[in-house]
Amino acid sequence: MATLPAKPDMKDRILETADRLFYLQGIRAIGVDTIAAEIGISKRTLYNHFPSKDALITAYLARRFVAPRTSDKSPVEQILGTFDSLERRFSAKDFRGCPFVNAVAELGEDRSVRKVAVAFKESRRLWFRDLLVQLGVADADALATQLALLVDGSIAQDLVRNDPAMARAAKEAATVLLRNAGVKVGGNIATNKRATKKRHSRPAS
Amino acid sequence: MATLPAKPDMKDRILETADRLFYLQGIRAIGVDTIAAEIGISKRTLYNHFPSKDALITAYLARRFVAPRTSDKSPVEQILGTFDSLERRFSAKDFRGCPFVNAVAELGEDRSVRKVAVAFKESRRLWFRDLLVQLGVADADALATQLALLVDGSIAQDLVRNDPAMARAAKEAATVLLRNAGVKVGGNIATNKRATKKRHSRPAS
DNA sequence: AAATAGGTACACAGACCTGTGTAACTAGGC
DNA sequence: GCCTAGTTACACAGGTCTGTGTACCTATTT
């Protein structure tokens, strides 16, 4: 039906721009005019691709929903590596907290927003849980929740303090929790600058 | 100078109402008309007490800034009790996350908002730190930061999930961190339903 | 060349927002 | 009784917001 449009990326461009502005400045703070002006298109074009601002918000959150992916590294490396990448993201000047938490804080009781936010948080918690199960942790569920708390805690703290060290604090706490659960964690945790990088395929689960 | 006004609480009433609406529905979501209408006063009266909405927002955050107070309970009870009161607040239906984090998320780069938010977070962290020093914890500073992460993490998680159990998960993690730092924590942590309530005045610091 | 899909320019409706101006009212203090 | 401070009702300025309507333009496809 639809012939390929001349510029196949107009919808993407709109969404990408909306994403950036919504995330950096807040959803309520950005009007559709601002988004259109930023791209240099007319507001009419924007509304030809998205029926309403609400639809754009929904698409924005859907775009941000990137479920954590399991790599071939060891479970411990993956878990602790989460906090390393958090620290990297905190250091970027365009980091402004968790888009889902922010959206819930901003839009309050909006059902659909809350729903996707919960789904996102749960996806990460389950990712942690699976890794913990692989490590043979007894109460993987509870520990996964606690790790998730550390992630969101460091994000919230960095949002207000602008201090990437929050990620390292979370990593140290996570290390203690893992060790307490009987998980063997490589010696020098700290900044993880060049640790022993042995890649054992997978421990007995 | 000012003779006592007939209704000495008008300014308070405005502030209290603004607080409730700002917190529950978001600062940007609430207009001054809405606040005035809620109290049943004219918008003019509101502006006679606060020169601008910005001033009202500032007063709102100042009002929310309640520094944690040290009680006569044992340091461990005070630290872990923090998570018990969090759980109670999570269970209240009018809980909507941390007002400071929410304000930063909503108002973005606003300097003064960020400033008061940082001050609030730091006041709690220092409260933790002092208690940990009393307990003779070596790196009280680092552990205080980690406890703060658990607090904010549970708040963020409860904001999206609406699950007061996040507070208990944080409490359990905090218990592990405390024990790991050499602090003796009473046996049955869990829900803390009637633990041994020995009140020792103060441990060797 | 004609048709079609998509974009542009621009005005506009209707709502809401912050903040002000003004005249009238109401109560307590002198 | 009168003054004063606080309040009220109400209009309004000037801005922003979402969303629509309309007429024109510009490529690509057929």
CATH number at B34 reads: 1.10.10.60
B86 and B128 in one domain? yes
Chain A stretch 67-106, residues whose beta carbon is closer than 8 A to a beta carbon of chain B: 96-98, 100-102, 104-106
Q: Give a yes or no: residue A3 inside a domain.
A: no
Would the pLDDT of A53 be above 90?
Answer: yes
Instruction: Indicate if A105 and A167 belong to the same structural domain.
Output: yes
Question: Based on the domain organization, do A75 and A173 belong to the same domain?
Answer: yes
Residue range A85-112, pLDDT digits in tens: 999 999 999 999 999 999 999 998 889 9
Residue A79 and residue A175 in one domain: yes
pLDDT band at B188 (very low <50, low <70, confident <90, very high): low
What chain B residue is nearest to A181 in terms of C-alpha separation?
B176
Indicate if B132 and B175 belong to the same structural domain. Answer: yes
Query: What confidence category does residue A187 fall into, taking pLDDT thresholds of 50, 70 and 90?
Result: low
Q: Does B167 touch chain A (CB under 8 A)?
A: no
Mean pLDDT of A138-154: 98
User: Tens of pLDDT along A176-185?
Assistant: 999 999 999 9
CB of B35 closer than 8 Å to CB of B17: yes
- For residue A201, CA distances in Å to A82, A134, B31, B128, B154 come to 19, 12, 58, 41, 34
pLDDT, averaged across chain A: 89
pLDDT score of B201 = 44
Cα(first)–Cα(last) distance of chain B, in Å? 51
* Residues B77 and B163 reside in one and the same domain: yes
Q: Is B156 on the interface with A (CB under 8 A)?
A: yes
Residue A186 is assigned to a structural domain of this protein: no
For B113-163, what is each residue's pLDDT tens digit?
999 999 999 999 999 999 999 999 999 999 999 999 999 999 999 999 999
Nucleotide nearest to B53 (CA to C1'): C18
Rounded to the nearest 5 percent, the helix, strand and coil shares of chain B are 65, 0, 35
Residue A157, classed as helix, strand or coil, is helix
Residue A111 belongs to some domain of the structure: yes
Number of structural domains chain B divides into? 2
**What does the pLDDT average to over A136-161?**
98
Please check whether residue A56 lies inside any domain of the structure.
Answer: yes
More confident position, B182 or B8: B182
| Residue range of the domain that includes A122 | 67-180
- A111-134 vs A53-64: helix crossing angle, rounded to 10: 10
Residues B15 and B36 occupy one common structural domain: yes
* Other Cβ atoms within 10 Å of B1 Cβ, number: 2
A76-B80-A189 Cα angle (round to 5)? 25
| Claim to verify: residue B153 and residue B77 sit in the same structural domain | yes
Is A1 contained in some domain?
Answer: no
Asked whether residue A193 is domain-assigned, the answer is no
B79: nearest Cα among B2, B155, B186, B1: B186
Same domain, B102 and B140: yes
Distance, Å, A42 CA → C9 C1'? 8
Length of chain B: 205
A55 and A154 in a common domain? no
- Return the pLDDT at A188: 58
Do A93 and A52 lie in one domain? The reply is: no
Nucleic chain C contacts, Cβ below 7 Å = A 2-3, 5-7, 10, 40-45, 48-49; B 3, 6, 30-34, 43-44, 47, 51-54
What pLDDT, on the 0 to 100 scale, is given for residue B9?
85
Same domain, A84 and A176: yes
- Of the listed ranges A140-149, B106-115, B143-152, the one predicted with least confidence: B106-115
pLDDT at residue number A109: 82
Q: How confident is the model over A131-158, as a mean pLDDT? A: 98
User: Is pLDDT above 50 for B75?
Assistant: yes
Strand D bases with any atom < 7 A from protein Cβ: 5-11, 16-23, 27-30
Question: Considering the domain boundaries, does residue B196 fall inside one?
Answer: no
* A149 touching chain B per CB within 8 A: yes
Stretch B82-101: mean pLDDT: 97
Query: Phi/psi of residue A33, each to 5°?
Result: -55, -45
Residue A88 belongs to a domain: yes
Give the CATH number, domain containing residue B90. 1.10.357.10
- Report which of B189, B154, B192 is spatially closest to residue A146, judged by C-alpha positions: B154
Does residue A51 contact residue A150 with C-beta atoms inside 8 Å? no
